[in-house]
Amino acid sequence: MSRRAPLWLRMPGRYAGLSAGRARILVALIGFALAAAAFSPLPAPNDAMLAIADQEILVRQGIVSAMIAGGDYYTVAADALRQAELPLGSVTAFRLPTLAVVLSSLPWLAGSLLLVAIAFASGWLWLERTRRAIVPRLAPMALAAVALAAGLVGFTQISLIALPEHWAAPLVALSLGLWRPGRWQSAAAIGLIAALLRETAAIYLIVMALAAWAEHHRREALGWLAALAVLAVVMAFHAAAASRAISPLDTDAAASAVAHGPAAMMASLGDQGGWTLLPSPLAAALAVLSMLGWSAWRDPAGLRVAATLAAYALAIMAIGWPAADAWGAMLAPLLLLGLVFAPDALRDIAAAALDTRRVRVHRVTR
């Protein structure tokens, strides 16, 4: 099949020139994903879950305040969790102390401005990268700006400054925006910072290490693995310190995951930024199309973003909601931006799937 001129992209997308057979398989997979995401019953958060979410914010703020007064992180964290009657039976109840240490050493205004600056820098960087990838028309540029604003607006809420995932998520987006083939050092450093703030960013480090290895960039792969090694050492010290703060009377969380699969992913996204304004079926459809769009962008960064988003989505679906509720923050900054690349992907796949041309061979006997 001959390639058509791109719709919004400056260069043909990854699915341009796709064979009819592969295109029809993709159509079936997209239809299945849309149906599974749109028709999965979303769990309704009960009063207890909402109360725990509110308590989590207050607890993290209280820990920072207690450290400003001179308290030790693990001691004040354990006391705060007990007073809020939150589970404290294992080291997983303790977040890494990195963010609390940083916030307790900075004026509150400085910390707030830093969080906003990270979100703004990530958004501006990706807007520039998107502008260079698409044609200079109003519709795609407006969609890119709206998608980035919707994805990042939640990370400018000062009331959530003490939540580590609200720092890690825009940092991961910033790291992806800085990454270029052969220029991975700054991206790896920022990715490590994100993981030291919230250990769930380790998934991003793993994806980047695997992608570099698959692309035969051995030095880059070793760099990402080195970042993972640093995180592993920090996590070992953290686990040892946290275990000493746990009392035999402390209890762990009861099994509370009430949804798995696509429902878990959509429930986890439901508290993030602009996703809160969307009806569930529409949000599910946009999530699927956004991931398709990222995979269609014919740029090495496109596949890495798509792989990162897919890895977090699979992790959320496997762990379940609300156990992985905060993990949705890692998806939010860049997921909607994939819609900018989706029109070309959909047009190319549909055109290939509908292509019914046949090659006819005429034998001429002389």
DSSP letter string, 83-141: HTT---SSGGGSPPSHHHHHHHHS-HHHHHHHHHHHHHHHHHHHHHHHHHHB-S-HHHH
Take residue 86 and report the two structure tokens written for it. 């939150």
- Band of residue 49 on the pLDDT scale cut at 50, 70, 90: low
Mean of the pLDDT values across residues 171-192?
96
Higher per-residue confidence, 92 vs 360: 92
AA identity, residue 366: R
Using the predicted structure, report yes or no on whether residue 355 has a pLDDT greater than 50.
yes
- Band of residue 144 on the pLDDT scale cut at 50, 70, 90: very high
In this predicted model, what pLDDT tens digit does every residue of 187-222 receive, in sequence order? 999 999 999 999 999 999 999 999 999 999 999 999
Evaluate whether 12 touches 298 at the Cβ level (below 8 Å).
yes
Question: How far is it, in rounded angstroms, from Cα 252 to Cα 87?
Answer: 5
Alpha helix segments (H runs only) across the chain: 20-39, 47-68, 73-83, 98-105, 108-133, 138-152, 165-178, 185-197, 202-214, 218-245, 262-269, 280-296, 300-319, 328-335, 342-353
In this predicted model, what pLDDT tens digit does every residue of 57-71 receive, in sequence order? 888 999 999 999 988
With H, G, I as helix, E, B as strand and everything else as coil, classify residue 189: helix
Using the predicted structure, report yes or no on whether residue 122 has a pLDDT greater than 80.
yes
Using the predicted structure, report yes or no on whether residue 39 has a pLDDT greater than 90.
no
Q: Does a cis peptide bond (omega within 30 degrees of 0) precede residue 333?
A: no
Evaluate whether 285 touches 37 at the Cβ level (below 8 Å).
yes
State the CB neighbour count (10 A cutoff) for residue 16: 23
Q: What does each C-alpha distance from 345 to 12, 77, 198, 342 come to in angstroms? A: 9, 48, 34, 5
E strand or H helix at 353, and its extent?
helix 342-353
- Band of residue 101 on the pLDDT scale cut at 50, 70, 90: very high
Nearest Cα neighbor of 315 from 173, 207, 175 is 207
In this predicted model, what pLDDT tens digit does every residue of 88-98 receive, in sequence order? 767 888 899 99
- Band of residue 48 on the pLDDT scale cut at 50, 70, 90: very low
Using the predicted structure, report yes or no on whether residue 84 has a pLDDT greater than 90.
no
Beta bridge partners of 183: 180
Using the predicted structure, report yes or no on whether residue 81 has a pLDDT greater than 70.
yes
